[in-house]
Amino acid sequence: MNETENTLRETIAGAIKDHDVLLFMKGTPEQPQCGFSARTVAALESLGAPFAAIDVLPDPRIRQELSALSNWPTVPQLFVGGELVGGCDIVTEMFESGELAHALGLDAAAEAPGDAPGGEFEQGAPPIQIENRLA
């Protein structure tokens, strides 16, 4: 473990702490580079949930440090309130059962009149980039 890896892990931990809803994914919400990431983004967007996203592809160490931190082997990984909720399977299952909306605190919004499904969803927070201090 050298200092740069420590710094990267701290940066990831800080991002998880600083964002209520944070998705680590392959690619961006606009252009996912993997079917599992795309499905996870689709679940969040269909609920109109604002979320921040981090692309793990630019540097393999992001994924490595993330998995070391979360004890979860695969990407995507969704964090809500600083806690790992799951990857694509769990997020999809929770979306279908309504648990995801509940976990995101969106129950009331989902039932509000005039909130037509399929309407324009609120644009999430812009994807953040992990500052690359390793170059």
Partner 1 sequence: MPTALELEQRIEAAIPGARAEVQTADEVHFSARVVAAEFAGLSRIQQHRLVYGVFEDGELGSAIHALSLKTETP
Which residues are near partner 1 by CB under 8 A? 71-73, 84-90, 93-94
Q: In whole angstroms, how close is the CB of 81 to partner 1 at the nearest point?
A: 14
Neighbours of 20 (CB within 10 A): 15
Our CB check for partner 1 shows the closer of 93 and 115 to be 93
Q: In whole angstroms, how close is the CB of 6 to partner 1 at the nearest point?
A: 25
Our CB check for partner 1 shows the closer of 72 and 125 to be 72
Q: In whole angstroms, how close is the CB of 79 to partner 1 at the nearest point?
A: 11
Answer whether 13's CB lies under 8 Å from 66's CB: no
Residue with tokens 């921040």: 52
Our CB check for partner 1 shows the closer of 13 and 128 to be 13
**Residue 113, both tokens:** 């009149």
Our CB check for partner 1 shows the closer of 36 and 51 to be 36
Question: 80-105 as b/e, with b when 16 or more CB fall inside 10 Å?
Answer: beeebbbbbebbbebbeeeebbebbe
